[in-house]
């Protein structure tokens, strides 16, 4: 409901006007206080329109101009109710402060029409400002995205180029060659993972994500995925898998489960001490399958948890641990567009637990 301020000096007129407007709008009649010899409203809340008469404008015109300037570029309308004889007296303040004028005696139909036109202009101005703000944020996000992708691709490409040149040497031992091949393969996997994230993010933002639920033996799938992750990362971490319920075949999108668990388990390993244990718990309910990924890592500060799922955001305590800040943002989008939920609980220097609930279709 639109909020209208009323400043009319004559108390009975003020009461009648407030009662009539109160049938359609929220009406506020603030108290006035004197500051530096000027009367200003004792008001904290925002408003959409201010109605005032000639005497009020005469001693409040500086406050009126200040409020209009503060709201810029958003339009904040002021409507003056006056008699014709007041117009010349108010000319010095009128056109710098007032957006619409109505003369006494007031016709209710005309007053209502003027108010509605001003409020409509106010709403359109707010919508335009919101759209411009979103456009600015989108441009900034695209700029950061291009910079991040360029940086993240450069590192593995440099790794691949460097070890490829070393492999051209004839005197390398088999052990060295095997080590170099593993490093190249790891760099390729990082690039493929980044490309996958970029592809999923672009599809999600364009509402082009599609799902293909199949009958999936969920417990064997999780065990196989854990082995794949342990093989690809080779960090010495232990992944402890616990299936609390009898989980058999469920009807779910395999790609969604794979993406979510791969990202969460990889993150848990990345932010945990070497050789520590990461836990994956599986629970199957009648309409939902629940995954819990728990680590013993650095934890996430409470302030950072509020922004954890924003694109490009990284927690303040990650240090030199590499990352793009895209993984969790993409996981959240994938999970929620699938109809699921994701929550996080974390304690600094103790660990973090992510809980994902996905519907069984």
Query: pLDDT digits over 244-265, tens only?
Result: 777 788 899 898 899 899 889 9
Same fold, 138-205 and 213-359: no
Position 129 pLDDT exceeds 80: yes
pLDDT of 297 above 80: yes
214 - beta bridge partners? Answer: 252
Would you give the end-to-end CA distance of the chain in angstroms?
A: 41
**Of the candidate ranges 122-136, 195-209, 251-265, the one whose mean pLDDT is the lowest:** 195-209
Q: Which CATH architecture has domain 213-359?
A: 2-Layer Sandwich (3.30)
Mean pLDDT, to the nearest integer, of 191-207?
71
For the chain, percent of residues with pLDDT exceeding 90: 21
Q: Can you tell me the mean pLDDT for 99-112?
A: 82
pLDDT of residue 264: 92
Q: CA 291 → CA 30, 281, 288, 331, 338, distances in Å?
A: 54, 6, 10, 13, 15
pLDDT for position 342: 94
Residue 89 pLDDT > 70: no
Q: What is the pLDDT of residue 265?
A: 92
Q: Which residue has the higher pLDDT, 188 or 196?
A: 188
Query: Over the Cα atoms of the chain, what is R_g?
Result: 31
Which pLDDT score, from 0 to 100, does residue 234 have?
Answer: 65
Q: Which of 11-25, 133-147, 283-297 has the highest mean pLDDT?
A: 283-297
Lowest average pLDDT, out of 49-63, 192-206, 244-258, goes to 192-206
* Interatomic CA distance for residues 242 and 112, integer angstroms: 67
| Boundaries of every domain in the chain | 3-106, 138-205, 213-359
pLDDT of residue 147: 67
The CATH architecture one would assign to domain 3-106 is 3-Layer(aba) Sandwich (3.40)
Average pLDDT, the chain: 83
pLDDT of the residue at 292: 95
Please state, in angstroms and rounded to a whole number, the distance separating the CA atoms of residues 292 and 259.
14
CA–CA separation, 144 and 149 (whole Å): 8
The whole-angstrom distance between residue 106's C-alpha and the CA centroid of its chain comes to 47
Looking at per-residue pLDDT, the higher value among 18 and 37 belongs to: 18
When pLDDT is cut at 50, 70 and 90, the band that residue 151 belongs to is: low
**Better-scored residue on pLDDT, 194 or 94:** 194
Judged against a pLDDT cut of 60, whether residue 354 lies above it is answered with yes
pLDDT over threshold 90, residue 267: no
- Identify the CA nearest to 201 among candidates 268, 133, 132, 148: 148
Element at 243 (helix H, strand E): strand 238-243
- How is residue 71 written in tokens? 């709201």
Angstrom distance (rounded) from CA 297 to CA 346: 10
Cα dist from 151 to 83, 154, 189, 263, whole Å? 68, 5, 16, 20
Range in 142-146, 173-177, 302-306 with the lowest mean pLDDT: 142-146
Residue 341: both structure tokens together: 């939920």
Q: Confirm if 73 and 130 have CB atoms less than 8 A apart.
A: no
| CATH 1.20.1260.120 is the classification of domain 138-205 | no
277-284/288-294 β-pairing? antiparallel
> pLDDT value at position 293?
94
Whole-number Å distance between alpha carbons of 353 and 347: 9
- How far apart CA 220 and CA 217 sit, in angstroms, is 6
CB count, 10 Å around CB of 71?
Answer: 17
Asked if 7 contacts 63 with a C-beta cutoff of 8 angstroms, the reply is no
Phi, psi (5° rounding) for residue 175? Answer: -65, -45
For residue 125, name the pLDDT band (cuts at 50, 70, 90). Answer: very high
Q: Grade residue 37 by pLDDT with cuts at 50, 70 and 90.
A: low
- Higher-pLDDT residue of 105, 49: 49
For the cut 80, the answer to whether the pLDDT of residue 136 exceeds it is yes
Q: Indicate the pLDDT class of residue 349, thresholds 50, 70 and 90.
A: confident
Q: How confident is the model at residue 95 (pLDDT cuts 50, 70, 90)?
A: low
- Please check whether residue 184 is in contact with residue 160, taking contact to mean a CB–CB distance below 8 angstroms: yes
> How far is it, in rounded angstroms, from Cα 21 to Cα 192?
62
Q: Which residue has the tokens 């509605």?
A: 116
Pairwise CA distance, residues 102 & 79, whole Å: 8
At residue 359, the pLDDT reads 92
Residue 162 dihedral angles phi and psi, to the nearest 5°: -65, -50
pLDDT score for 117: 92
pLDDT digits (tens, 9 = 90+) for 268-282: 988 888 888 999 999
Q: Of 353, 190, 351, which Cα lies nearest the Cα of 272?
A: 351
Residue 115's Cα: distance from chain center in Å? 35
Instruction: Please write the tens of the pLDDT for every residue from 5-26.
Output: 888 888 888 888 888 888 889 9
Please spell the DSSP secondary structure of 67-111, one letter per residue. HHHHHTTS---EEEEE-HHHHHHTHHHHHHH-SEEEESSPPHHHH
């Amino acid at each position: 409901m639109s909020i209208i301020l009323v400043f009319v000096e004559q108390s009975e007129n003020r009461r009648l006007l407030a009662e009539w407007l109160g049938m359609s709008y929220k009406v506020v009649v603030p108290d006035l206080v004197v500051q530096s010899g000027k009367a200003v409203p004792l008001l904290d809340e925002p408003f959409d329109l201010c109605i005032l008469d000639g005497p009020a404008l005469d001693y409040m015109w500086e406050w009126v101009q200040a409020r209009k300037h503060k709201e810029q570029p958003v339009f904040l309308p002021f409507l003056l109710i006056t008699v014709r004889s007041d117009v010349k007296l108010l000319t010095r303040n009128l056109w710098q402060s007032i957006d619409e004028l109505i003369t006494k005696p007031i016709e209710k139909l005309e007053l209502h029409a003027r108010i509605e036109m001003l409020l409509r202009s106010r709403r359109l101005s707010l919508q335009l400002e919101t759209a411009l703000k979103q456009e600015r944020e989108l441009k900034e996000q695209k700029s950061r995205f291009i910079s991040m992708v360029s940086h993240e691709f450069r590192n593995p490409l440099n790794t691949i180029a460097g070890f490829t040149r070393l492999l051209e040497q004839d005197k390398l031992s088999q052990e060295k060659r095997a080590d170099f091949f593993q490093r190249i393969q790891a760099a390729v996997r990082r690039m493929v993972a980044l490309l996958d994230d970029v592809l999923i993010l672009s599809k999600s933002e364009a509402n082009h994500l599609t799902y293909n639920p199949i009958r999936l033996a969920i417990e064997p799938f999780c065990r196989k995925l854990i082995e794949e992750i342990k093989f690809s990362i080779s960090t010495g971490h232990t992944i402890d898998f616990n299936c609390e319920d009898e989980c058999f075949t469920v009807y779910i999108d395999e790609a969604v489960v794979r993406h979510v668990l791969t990202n969460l388990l990889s993150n848990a390993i990345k932010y945990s001490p070497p050789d520590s244990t990461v836990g994956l718990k599986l629970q199957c309910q009648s309409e939902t399958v629940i995954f819990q990924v728990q680590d013993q890592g650095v934890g996430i500060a409470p302030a950072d948890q509020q922004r954890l799922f924003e694109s490009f955001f990284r927690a303040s305590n990650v240090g030199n641990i590499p990352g793009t800040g895209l993984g969790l943002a993409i996981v959240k989008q994938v999970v929620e567009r699938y109809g699921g939920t994701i929550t996080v609980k974390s304690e600094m220097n103790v660990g973090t637990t992510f809980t994902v609930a996905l519907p069984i279709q």
